[in-house]
Structure 1
Amino acid sequence: MDSRKSAAAAPVIETHALTRVFGSYTAVDRLNLAVPRGAIYGFIGSNGSGKSTAIRMICGLLPPTSGTAYVLGCDTAAHPERARQSLGYMSQRFSLYANMTVAENMMFYGGLYGLTRDERRTRTQEVLVRMQLTDKRDVLAGGLSGGQKQRLALGCAILHRPALLVLDEPTSAVDPTSRRLFWNLLSEMAGTEQTTIFVTTHFMDEAEHCDEIAFLQRGRKIASGSPTRLKEELPARLYVLPEEAAEAGEAALRAAGVAFDEVYVFGRQVRALVPRDAVLPEELHAAPWELTMEDVFIYYDRRQRG
């Protein structure tokens, strides 16, 4: 087999029974992932599901208790520095230096990634254009808007042209317009440059942009697949009820003897997730509805809480 084809086909992130235990608490439990090159891979779960701990192990920032994590074939526990050279990392708490300008921040981070001074100057100019920050070049980072800070953080993370971008809730504090621009940039990088994007988010409309998603629950992967596949294979169907409150919807389902997984308000709708084999009598006036990733998240989140 052609070695170049084999390298291209190999997962960018690969974990085998990755586990992290803190005392008597298991934060990540035998996690198996295989993230292909050029994919936008969503890593989804409620707070406390183990996402951030798993990311820290994947990035070589935390050694696993057992199991392994590889980035481009490099064991992140055995060679954490080498693994980090291949990835760019950004989180909602990305550390920008408020008293340095946009360009100075980029030059500084370029130095941390080992770029020469000439390489840093060239890449800073290229990234400023790409992040639409050229006119903010000499502005202090502390004076930027939330969306501009986010774009600067992303720019700093891609200065060294990493093959992998790891993004931990990167859009949690920005407006919808900035979020759209951010996702347009990610889609461009994944599509035209084959950059692999590994991202966590609590915005389920963003999860729709992912090629594949893994759901974590109490440290375990409980479901994975494309957004379309996850909706198709969800062990529940969605109905909209005529009631005006979730409590009234629950009462109506109970009175009709219909089991349900969750009843909740979405916008002005009262929605019910019911088992696939449930039969809803006509007197409930329940309308079947198309699932969204928000509904899929609610289904799995209920199991985290339950």
Structure 2
Amino acid sequence: MSASSPDAVRAEALTRRFGDFTAVDGLSFTVAPGELFGLVGPDGAGKTTTLRMLAGVLRPSAGDAFIRGIGVARDPEGVKHEIAYMSQRFGLYADLTVMENLSFYADLYRVPKRERPARFERLFHFSNLAPFKDRLAGKLSGGMKQKLGLSCALVHQPQVLLLDEPTFGVDPISRRDLWLIVHDMVAQGMTAVVSTAYMDEAERFDRVALLHQGRLLALDTPAALQRGLPGEILLAQVADVRRARDLLARHPRVRRAAIFGDALHLNVADAAADAPPLETALRDAGLAPAALRPIAPSMEDVFIEHMTEAT
């Protein structure tokens, strides 16, 4: 790392255009060494494009990013020695076994042969793939493929880990296992930048960058973003959530009404004072709810708030 660059990752007005379309628009942030940093937002937010630029795979249209002091625009090949990048479609070889895939990536990254047994054992410990080391990668479940892909990315012990939606489409147990691996690596000093569209995963990060249409909406710790949400949140469980949402969205005591599964989150100024008149409004409309109750804001509440402000 450059002595003049204490950040593990730094983006400076990072921008990427595809013709007239701007996928990433002037994105700036820093990531400290050993930090678990999240790029959080829906599809089309610019997460994958940002990670591809950080990995040196895609050249920025404007701005720059630095990995341990190495500029991705000036020296994309130099960046690749510092990172592991796991894309949404990581290049496993279906006709090779688990062990053969690991050995192939160890060859690719020029891992010394004397160091491989210890590294493989450590990766098998994290991933729980040892019982399947002789199974073809093409015969693994989706979650096991993701864990193998992550193990292959980690075989050369990179300083910075870049993961593009690693838990997308995997089962809950594999999702938990993947996060355990990432947290273990960060606890040992690795820096990780991880993208996700799952708002419930945002609370796992040390800090999160909320992205929407290529722009940065907010950047802070999850707890600070939740504390900074204006007003308070009331939970309303009703039979007809859409009708209730349409009714309460027009109520003068409600800043915002959003559907969360079979319930509503109502952003109000004062939960204790606003709950009784809102319960009355629901009853008068034939939508008698269970008692409205205050809850802590979720990261999805935070994202909706910032997205609404930006549009």
Q: Please list, as runs of the form range in 1=range in 2, the aligned pairs for 1:40-189 lying within 5 A after superposition.
A: 40-189=36-185
Is residue 246–residue 263 contact of structure 1 (8 Å, CA) maintained in 2? Answer: no
> Structure 1, residues 33-92: CA drift from partner, whole Å, max 9, x if none?
100111111101111111111111111111111111000100012111110111111133
Q: Do residues 195 (structure 1) and 201 (structure 2) align? A: no
Query: 1:282 offset after TM fit, Å?
Result: 2.8
> Structure 1, residues 183-220: CA drift from partner, whole Å, max 9, x if none?
112111111x1111111112223221111100012211
The alignment's C-alpha RMSD in Å is: 2.5
**Partner Cα separation in structure 1 for residue 131 and residue 303 of structure 2:** 39
- Match in the other structure for 2:243: 248
Is residue 38–residue 207 contact of structure 2 (8 Å, CA) maintained in 1? Answer: yes
- Match in the other structure for 1:290: 296
Q: Alignment partner of 1:18: what SS? A: strand
Match of 1:239 among 212, 234, 237: 234
Query: 1:276 offset after TM fit, Å?
Result: 8.2
**Partner Cα separation in structure 1 for residue 41 and residue 198 of structure 2:** 11
Which runs of 5 or more structure 2 residues have no equivalent in the other structure? 280-291
Match of 1:280 among 270, 274, 278: 274
- CA distance 1:114–1:254, shift in 2 (3 Å): closer
Q: Alignment partner of 1:249: what SS? A: helix
TM-score (norm 1): 0.88
**Partner Cα separation in structure 1 for residue 275 and residue 100 of structure 2:** 65
**Partner Cα separation in structure 2 for residue 282 and residue 262 of structure 1:** 16
Query: 1:275 offset after TM fit, Å?
Result: 6.7
- CA distance 1:155–1:284, shift in 2 (3 Å): same
- Match in the other structure for 2:7: 11
- CA distance 1:26–1:255, shift in 2 (3 Å): closer
Is residue 203–residue 222 contact of structure 2 (8 Å, CA) maintained in 1? Answer: yes
Is residue 106–residue 155 contact of structure 1 (8 Å, CA) maintained in 2? Answer: yes
- Match in the other structure for 1:30: 26
- CA distance 1:105–1:302, shift in 2 (3 Å): farther
Once the two structures are overlaid, the 10-residue window that deviates more, 174-183 or 290-299, is 290-299
**Partner Cα separation in structure 2 for residue 41 and residue 140 of structure 1:** 33
Q: Please list, as runs of the form range in 1=range in 2, the aligned pairs for 1:203-214 lying within 5 A after superposition.
A: 203-214=198-209
Query: 1:265 offset after TM fit, Å?
Result: 3.2
**Partner Cα separation in structure 2 for residue 150 and residue 301 of structure 1:** 31
**Partner Cα separation in structure 1 for residue 224 and residue 97 of structure 2:** 45
Is residue 84–residue 154 contact of structure 2 (8 Å, CA) maintained in 1? Answer: yes
**Partner Cα separation in structure 1 for residue 91 and residue 11 of structure 2:** 28
Which runs of 5 or more structure 1 residues have no equivalent in the other structure? none
> Structure 1, residues 212-256: CA drift from partner, whole Å, max 9, x if none?
100012211110111111111123532223543333323432563
Is residue 241–residue 263 contact of structure 2 (8 Å, CA) maintained in 1? Answer: no
- Match in the other structure for 1:221: 216
Among all aligned residue pairs of Structure 1 and Structure 2, give the percentage whose two residues are the same amino acid. Answer: 37
TM-score (norm 2): 0.87
- CA distance 1:214–1:125, shift in 2 (3 Å): same
Query: 1:274 offset after TM fit, Å?
Result: 4.6
**Partner Cα separation in structure 1 for residue 95 and residue 166 of structure 2:** 22
Q: In structure 1, give the amino acid aligned to 2:162.
A: V
